[in-house]
Homo-oligomer: A and B are copies of this chain.
Amino acid sequence: MPEISVNKSGRAADTVVRQLSEKIQSGEYTDGTPLPPERLLMEEFGISRTVVREAVQALSKQGMLEARPRHRPIVRKPGYDAAISAMETVVSHLLNNSGGVKNLFDTRILVEGALVRQAAQQAQRDDIAALKSALEANGAAIDDSEEFYRTDRAFHALLYEISHNPVLPSLHKAYVTWLAPQWSRMPRLPERNRVNYEAHVRIFDGILMRDPDAAEAALRTHLEQAWSQVCETFGEDL
């Protein structure tokens, strides 16, 4: 079906992108398998390799293809992660601007504050149990900073999962990724770990007591304290 659609757009690649993405979504190109070679695609669509490559590049930027340098592109059905990772390069530029990191972190405070409120109001029994065990793991890792960092992330991640909205865990991943440059270069001190752990406890207690105000207040205190720790390390120029 080599059709030469009269595309007003002036861009042949656009039509190819559409057709390819349809084939990916429909499962004609199986998720996880490599895309056909470029030379086959040019036959299939009746276009030059130039256009094929342009389309492939576009799709990989959109997260529907995973393109490593000298390899065949791997088909990936797009998920919320892909959507967020599409912003990655731009965000990295914004973070270099003064205040960029703070702006981003403030949105995290906003969102996560809303999440703990919601958790305090509607967390189910198993949500509470998951939080509890995550909290215990976190408490047990106070002396192992690397492990503490991991369990810390896991605890916060749970807050994003309680809503059962798949967008939110992806958002959490994004926050962790984007703020990692700062966070990872901070000194890991057991005293700080203890402080952070106790903050987690207060958040958990707030949720447990079904007290949204207390839970949110604890979370805000926690994150703002974390922020001031970052500022101590890097100075004000963020």
Chain A contacts to B: CB under 8 angstroms: 9-11, 21, 25, 50, 53-54, 57-58, 61-64, 69-70, 78-80, 82-84, 86-87, 89-91, 93-94, 96, 103-104, 106-107, 110-111, 113-115, 117-118, 163, 165-168, 171
Contacts and interface: CB of A to CB of B under 8 A. Distances in A.
B94 A80 contact: yes
A62 B80 contact: no
Contact of A83 (B62, B82, B91): B91
Contact of A57 (B57, B62, B111, B171): B57
A80 B80 CA distance: 19
B110 A113 contact: no
13 contacts: A10-B70, A53-B54, A78-B93, A83-B91, A86-B86, A86-B89, A104-B167, A106-B163, A106-B167, A107-B167, A107-B171, A110-B115, A113-B114
A110 B103 contact: no
Contact of A86 (B57, B70, B87, B103): B87
Given A10-B70, A11-B69, A86 B90 contact: yes
Nearest to A80: B94
